């Protein structure tokens, strides 16, 4: 079998990815074995003669790595800067609803973390503001897990102890998100490369999908489309938004 570098180069050539995880390579190796193919050249030929295999390959490249409170620096920046600034601007608008979109949410750890952060840290200083979250992912199985809101300890180990105590009920070896932290949170099965929720949104979170795994040309196309989902009149804050993103990245470095 080919060295891992060859698998990475193959996947980057045929699909719009710049980062390939080891679990994807393992899936592809298993697929070649299942198809009784000796090498990547044989698989490339198989793709040419079996168009449906492109869907199988695309599904093999989905990354389900996620956990609550992932990248603490990002959520610290959201808590201390981004969400308070957005809430103040929403407060001055006609509709006091702060709308967020979690793109590529996997099994929803990111969106639930955002929900917990708002209600446990910011709802008190902003009692007149409601938070709404739309969460999208291409994998319907992960979305079903998200709807159940049931997670093993390994997914929650980074959460602050108080958040775990207040936000979850114990169910055997797992933890279940309490109903209070499921309100005004919606799920949709979508592939961000082709479909986007209607919006508009004040905050879009897609760092762990578009800007981690997709190649730069695809990033630019999707970013342009995401901009169309921003709340009208808020796009002029691009410089401040860029600074916020940079602060979050620096905090996670």
Output helix, strand, coil percentages for the chain, rounded to the nearest 5.
55, 15, 30
* Domain range for 88: 72-252
Judge contact between 205 and 103, C-beta under 8 A. Answer: yes
| Domain presence at residue 144 | yes
Cα dihedral 178, 181, 182, 188 in deg (nearest 10): -130
Please check whether residues 52 and 81 belong to one and the same domain: no
- What pLDDT shows up at residue 120? 96
Give Cα 221 distance to the centre of its chain.
18
How deeply is 36 buried, as exposed, middle or buried, from its count of CB atoms within 10 A (0-12, 13-18, 19+)? exposed
Alpha helices in the chain (DSSP H): 4-14, 22-34, 40-49, 53-60, 72-77, 83-91, 109-117, 140-148, 153-156, 161-167, 210-213, 216-227, 238-252
Distance CA 129, CA 126 (A): 6
Please check whether residues 26 and 97 belong to one and the same domain: no
- What pLDDT shows up at residue 119? 95
Please check whether residues 83 and 196 belong to one and the same domain: yes
Judge contact between 113 and 69, C-beta under 8 A. Answer: yes
| Domain presence at residue 65 | no
- What pLDDT shows up at residue 128? 94
Please check whether residues 230 and 180 belong to one and the same domain: yes
| Domain presence at residue 67 | no
Please check whether residues 111 and 194 belong to one and the same domain: yes
- What pLDDT shows up at residue 17? 73
Query: What DSSP element (H or E) covers 240?
Result: helix 238-252
Please check whether residues 127 and 18 belong to one and the same domain: no
Which of 38, 60, 82 is the last residue in one of the domains? 60
- What pLDDT shows up at residue 130? 95
| Domain presence at residue 241 | yes
Please check whether residues 39 and 122 belong to one and the same domain: no
Which of 17, 34, 60 is the last residue in one of the domains? 60
Low-confidence ranges of the chain (pLDDT < 70): 1-3, 64-65, 233-253
Catalogue the long-range contacts made by 171-175 (C-beta closer than 8 Å, 24 or more residues apart): 174/150, 175/150, 175/151
The token duo for 88 is 């103040």
Please check whether residues 141 and 222 belong to one and the same domain: yes
Please check whether residues 112 and 28 belong to one and the same domain: no
- What pLDDT shows up at residue 35? 93
Cβ neighbours of 125 (radius 10 Å): 10
Please check whether residues 91 and 178 belong to one and the same domain: yes
Distance CA 183, CA 124 (A): 17
Please check whether residues 217 and 166 belong to one and the same domain: yes
* Backbone angle region of 206, left / alpha / beta, with phi > 0 → left and psi within -120 to 50 → alpha: alpha
Which of 17, 39, 60 is the last residue in one of the domains? 60
| Domain presence at residue 66 | no
Strands (E), 22-152: 97-103, 130-137, 150-152
| Domain presence at residue 190 | yes
Please check whether residues 22 and 83 belong to one and the same domain: no
- What pLDDT shows up at residue 2? 56
Phi and psi of 16, rounded to 5°?
-80, 55
Cβ neighbours of 58 (radius 10 Å): 14
Contacts of 127 (CB under 8 A, 6+ apart): none
Q: For the chain, what is the domain count?
A: 2
| Domain presence at residue 109 | yes
| Domain presence at residue 212 | yes
Tracing tokens 């840290």 back to the chain, one arrives at: 121
Q: What is the CATH number of the domain that holds 88?
A: 3.40.50.150
Cα dihedral 175, 113, 210, 98 in deg (nearest 10): 140
């Amino acid at each position: 079998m080919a060295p891992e570098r060859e698998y990475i180069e193959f996947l980057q050539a045929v699909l719009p990815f710049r980062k390939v995880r080891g679990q994807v390579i393992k899936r592809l190796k298993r697929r070649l074995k299942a198809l009784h193919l000796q090498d990547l050249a044989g698989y490339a030929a198989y793709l040419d003669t079996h168009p449906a295999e492109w869907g199988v390959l695309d599904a093999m490249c989905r990354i389900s790595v996620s956990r609550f409170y992932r990248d603490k620096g990002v959520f610290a920046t959201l808590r201390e800067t981004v969400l308070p600034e957005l809430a103040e601007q929403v407060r001055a608008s006609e509709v006091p609803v702060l709308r967020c979109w979690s793109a590529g949410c996997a099994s929803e750890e990111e969106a639930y973390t955002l929900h917990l952060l708002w209600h446990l840290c910011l709802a008190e200083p902003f009692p007149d503001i409601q938070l709404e979250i739309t969460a999208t992912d291409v994998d319907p199985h992960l979305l079903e897990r998200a709807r159940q809101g049931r997670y093993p300890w390994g997914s929650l180990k980074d959460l602050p102890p108080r958040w775990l105590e207040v936000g979850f009920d114990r169910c055997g070896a797992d933890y279940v998100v309490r109903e209070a932290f499921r309100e005004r949170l919606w799920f949709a099965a979508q592939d961000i490369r082709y479909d986007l929720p209607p919006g508009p949104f004040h905050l879009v979170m897609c760092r762990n999908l578009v800007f981690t795994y997709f190649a730069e040309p695809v990033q630019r196309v999707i970013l342009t489309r995401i901009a169309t989902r921003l709340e009208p009149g808020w796009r002029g804050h691009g410089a401040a938004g860029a600074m916020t993103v940079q602060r979050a990245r620096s905090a996670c470095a």
